[in-house]
Structure 1
Amino acid sequence: MSSPSFDSGRELDAQDIVTLTDAMGRSLDCYVENEITQDGTEYYFLMPVDQPVVILAWDEDEAEESDLPETELVEDPEELAEIFPDAKAVLAEHDLILQDTAHVMTVRGELPPLEEDKILSLEIEDDNFEDEDLEAEELQELARFYHLDQLYSIYTPLEPIPIFVKVTEDEEMEILEPGDPMIQSLVDTLLLQDADAD
């Protein structure tokens, strides 16, 4: 993944917004929640301004035979580009605007009320931590649609998705990938800061 760029023209505080931009020219506006300097390097803890979403593909044949059907997170850029118009159209019916933003797709608009039967608990597997228990992430279903006889669902995480970035020597922001040991170090630092503040 290429290093996103950002506008660092002024001092940041908790409610400033930075814009990450990827190699394809897509952008993602994020609130700056916190700034950490560690070993001489600046890191930022960001939250997307708009609501992140993911798209899952379902195995309908297995769904008929199992209470827990197989589902797969759609990550292939070509597949996402192909189904994007259908996903955007179905969300527009719910007054939500799907955005092909950098790093993660987002929606703009008022989310529907939370319903118990629209919540999916998805276990996220991390190749960097094979020996650890899988953590379940709860997602809220926003819409379903078909594309070429394949069933897809659009979900948004119930918990906010944080983005940790490192400021490089070229004044660019480099996103830390999930599983990067530095993320846990930064989380520990934030927890200590919160404890000291109390």
Structure 2
Amino acid sequence: MRDSASGSSDVPTVLVRDSDGRDLLCFLEQLIRLDGTDYVLLTPVDTPVSLFRLQDDADPEPIITLNSSEPILSVADVVLQEHDLTLVRSAVTLTVSGELDEPDPDELEDEDDDDGDEDSETFELLVSFMVEEQEFGLYIPLDPFFVVARMVDGQAELVEGEDFDLIQPRLEAELEEREWPE
């Protein structure tokens, strides 16, 4: 993982903006040219997190749509501040800035369920908290979190919705051809 705090990373960064005007600072991982347009594959500089509703005896339920002024996020802000972390309402995803402990890969292998579902994402709980008698958790995805953007006049524009659905298979095919990542 890159050490963005010390500035020792030589990987260029790109600021990507979504259709709502929110920004996300990312590392530039790959540049892919398709039909005369430059697309970039990016990873967030800050740690991406996902919000889940936690319920007894049930799998955590992801919360997909969330207004950035939601009371849940205000409580998450306070809980994260206790750990010297900051919740950022950025483009594409929520992120957390600050020093996070790296997960131990040996522990993660022991915790994996052998249910054969290779499509399910794996997450690690960062913090949990209560809001109006309901428990929530912020989880870090353990799989790489990629963002796709289109370069237009030197600016990175997030590829969203139908545009993403159309371009994703072509980008994946190009990456497979390049054999990245292994």
Asked if TM exceeds 0.5, the reply is yes
Letter of the aligned partner of 2:88 in structure 1? Q
Would you say the 8 A contact 1:120–1:139 is kept in 2?
no
Question: What's the % identity of the aligned pairs?
Answer: 29
Greater Cα radius of gyration, structure 1 or 2? 1
Alpha-carbon distance in structure 2 between the residues aligned to 1:94 and 1:120: 27
Correspondences of 1:117-156 after superposition (within 5 Å): 135-156=119-140
Would you say the 8 A contact 1:120–1:140 is kept in 2?
no
Distance 1:181 1:24, change over 3 A: closer
Give me the CA root mean square deviation.
3.1
Correspondences of 1:11-160 after superposition (within 5 Å): 15-60=11-56, 63=57, 69-78=58-67, 81-114=70-103, 116=107, 135-160=119-144
| Deviation string, structure 1 residues 106-151 (Cα, Å, up to 9, x no partner) | 011222353648x687xxxxxxxxxxx7711110101100001111
Distance 1:193 1:113, change over 3 A: closer
Q: CA deviation at 1:166?
A: 2.5
Distance 1:170 1:77, change over 3 A: same
Would you say the 8 A contact 2:29–2:40 is kept in 1?
yes
Q: CA deviation at 1:98?
A: 1.3
Match of 2:7 in 1: none
Would you say the 8 A contact 2:149–2:156 is kept in 1?
no
**3-state DSSP of counterpart to 1:77:** coil
Distance 1:73 1:42, change over 3 A: same
**Structure 1 stretch 76-85 or stretch 97-106: which is displaced more?**
76-85
Alpha-carbon distance in structure 1 between the residues aligned to 2:130 and 2:97: 22
Alpha-carbon distance in structure 1 between the residues aligned to 2:123 and 2:112: 5
Letter of the aligned partner of 1:135 in structure 2? D
Distance 1:107 1:142, change over 3 A: same
Count of aligned pairs between the two proteins:
164
**3-state DSSP of counterpart to 1:136:** coil
Alpha-carbon distance in structure 2 between the residues aligned to 1:113 and 1:172: 29
Q: Which has the higher contact order (CA 8 A, sep 6+)?
A: 2
1:161 to 123, 145, 158: 145
Alpha-carbon distance in structure 2 between the residues aligned to 1:45 and 1:153: 28
